[in-house]
């Protein structure tokens, strides 16, 4: 299978890298919707494909490939024309605030695969980013995730393929779960989910993701600066990184490629939470970067949450 990766900025850079490594250079074409990102965020890392946007029907643009995009308009076009696409849908908002616990999964052909618990640490520290910024993610397989809550939502997700998460809110009176915000598409959750698979291309071709018992993702950034910040990464921990807004620098180093200061996700997975968390934090610390910003308390409250789930009979 071949893929055309079209990203709004550079969020799918690392996925394009994975697929090229697994399938070969000729199997993946990559482009950014913003021309300056082709010259900046992917400079020296991926050779972006030139995409003829104007007056080009999507089916001609794909040339039989599968579209991977984090842009909602391209996703909508693909769905309307029933073209193969792993895309991005807008969040389905609700009156409930963001929840720290969600039901995660991967949808293929209208089926929810590999359901798992998804715990979010909202807000980054240090750095002062707000409460709606993800400070850490932990995927936990096992237990009894309330997959029946997805039943009424499958119609809204008709034709969609990719990672999904549904915020959960506990109703003490009914002693059950209520649905919150639905998110579908690319982001830290999707990257963490695919990181738990031996090969991302197998999941994208329809195989259910095989998740480790625990997967931890820690976003890492630097304070926003008008000039690039150079850094390097030891080869031993490169497999645990999902890079974001970066480009190649002289002498084999890397550097930030935008004003956001986003570097990427430090990943960790293991049979225990302690093991996965330790790998993620050690990976973040191993990055040879000045003034790194990331949460050192990621997933620290998870044992208590899992204990509560166990007492309620859900884990």
Whether 204 and 1 have beta carbons less than 8 Å apart is answered as yes
CA distances from 131 to 40, 97, 100, 279, 308 (A): 29, 11, 11, 25, 24
* Residues 127 and 221 sit within 8 Å (Cβ to Cβ): yes
How many alpha carbons lie under 13 Å from residue 121 in its C-beta half-sphere?
20
Q: How many domains does the chain have?
A: 2
Same domain for 98 and 71, yes or no, is: no
Task: Between 91 and 125, name the one with better pLDDT.
Answer: 91
The count of other CB atoms within 10 Å of the CB of residue 67 is 21
Residues 9, 132: one domain?
Answer: no
Together in a domain, 149 and 19: no
pLDDT (tens digit, 9 = 90+) per residue, 111-165? 999 999 999 998 875 555 667 788 899 999 999 999 999 988 887 788 899 999 9
The whole-number pLDDT of residue 49 equals 60
Distance CA 108, CA 118 (A): 19
Closest CA to 241 of 168, 188, 314: 188
Give the orientation angle of helix 188-195 with respect to helix 13-23, to 10 degrees: 20
Contact between residue 65 and residue 78 where contact means Cβ atoms under 8 Å apart = no
Dihedral angle at the C-alpha atoms of 183, 12, 83, 25, nearest 10 degrees?
-160
Shared domain for 173 and 205, answered yes or no, is yes
Considering the domain architecture, whether residues 21 and 148 belong to the same structural domain is answered as: no
pLDDT of residue 82: 92
The pLDDT value given to residue 14: 86
pLDDT at 25 over 70: yes
Beta carbons within 8 Å of 166's beta carbon, 6+ residues apart? 102, 103, 104, 149, 150, 153, 179, 180, 181, 182, 183
Statement to judge: residues 73 and 100 lie in one domain: no
pLDDT in tens, 165-182: 999 999 988 889 999 999
Considering the domain architecture, whether residues 79 and 161 belong to the same structural domain is answered as no
The residue out of 53, 87, 121 marking a domain boundary is 87
Same domain, 63 and 99: no
> What value does the mean pLDDT of the chain take?
88
Question: What CATH number is attached to the domain comprising 54?
Answer: 3.40.50.2000
Are 82 and 188 contained in the same domain? no
CATH of the domain at 140: 3.90.600.10
Same domain, 205 and 305: yes
Burial label for 148, CB within 10 Å (0-12, 13-18, 19+), is exposed
In the prediction, which pLDDT does 42 show?
78
pLDDT of residue 280: 96
| pLDDT at residue number 118 | 97
Q: Looking at the structure, tell me whether residues 144 and 275 fall in a common domain.
A: yes
Give the separation between CA 122 and CA 288, rounded to whole angstroms. Answer: 25
Quickly list H helices, the chain: 13-23, 35-39, 58-62, 72-80, 188-195, 200-204, 273-286, 302-312
Domain boundary at 33, 60, 87, which? 87
Domain assignment of residue 162, given as a range: 93-312
pLDDT tens-digit readout, 227-277 = 888 998 888 888 899 988 888 888 888 998 877 788 899 999 999 999 999
Q: Residue 117 pairs with which residues in a beta bridge?
A: 103, 140
Question: Last residue of a domain, which of 44, 60, 87?
Answer: 87
Q: Are 193 and 209 in contact (CB under 8 A)?
A: yes
How far is 299 from 118, CA to CA, in rounded Å?
Answer: 11
Q: Are 167 and 98 in contact (CB under 8 A)?
A: yes
- Regarding whether 216 and 103 lie in a shared domain, the answer is yes
């Amino acid at each position: 299978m071949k893929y055309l990766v079209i990203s709004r900025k550079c969020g799918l850079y690392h996925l394009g890298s994975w697929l090229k490594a697994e399938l070969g250079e000729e199997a993946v074409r990559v482009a950014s919707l913003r021309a300056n990102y082709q010259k900046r965020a992917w400079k020296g890392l991926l050779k972006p494909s030139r995409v003829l946007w104007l007056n080009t029907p999507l089916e001609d643009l794909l040339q039989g490939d599968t579209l991977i995009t984090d842009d909602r308009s391209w996703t909508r076009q693909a769905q309307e024309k029933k073209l193969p696409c792993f895309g991005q849908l807008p969040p389905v908002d609700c009156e409930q605030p963001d929840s720290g616990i969600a039901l995660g999964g991967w949808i293929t052909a209208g089926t929810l695969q590999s359901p798992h618990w998804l715990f979010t640490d909202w807000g980054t520290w240090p750095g002062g980013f707000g409460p709606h910024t993800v400070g850490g993610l932990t995927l936990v397989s096992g237990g009894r995730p309330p997959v029946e809550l997805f039943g009424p939502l499958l119609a809204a997700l008709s034709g969609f393929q990719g990672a999904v998460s549904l915020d959960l809110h506990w109703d003490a009176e009914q002693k059950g779960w209520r649905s919150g915000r639905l998110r579908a598409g690319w982001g830290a959750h999707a990257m963490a989910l695919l990181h738990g698979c031996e090969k991302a291309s197998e999941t994208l071709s329809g195989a259910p993701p095989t998740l480790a018992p625990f997967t931890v993702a820690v976003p890492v950034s630097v304070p926003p600066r008008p000039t690039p910040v150079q850094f390097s990464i030891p080869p031993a921990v490169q497999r645990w990184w999902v890079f974001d807004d970066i480009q190649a620098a002289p002498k084999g180093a890397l550097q930030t490629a935008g004003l956001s200061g986003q570097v990427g996700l430090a990943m960790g997975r293991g049979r225990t939470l302690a093991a996965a968390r330790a790998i993620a934090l050690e990976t973040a610390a191993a990055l040879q970067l000045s003034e790194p910003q990331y949460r050192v308390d990621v997933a620290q409250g998870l044992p208590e949450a899992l204990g509560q789930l166990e007492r309620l009979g859900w884990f």
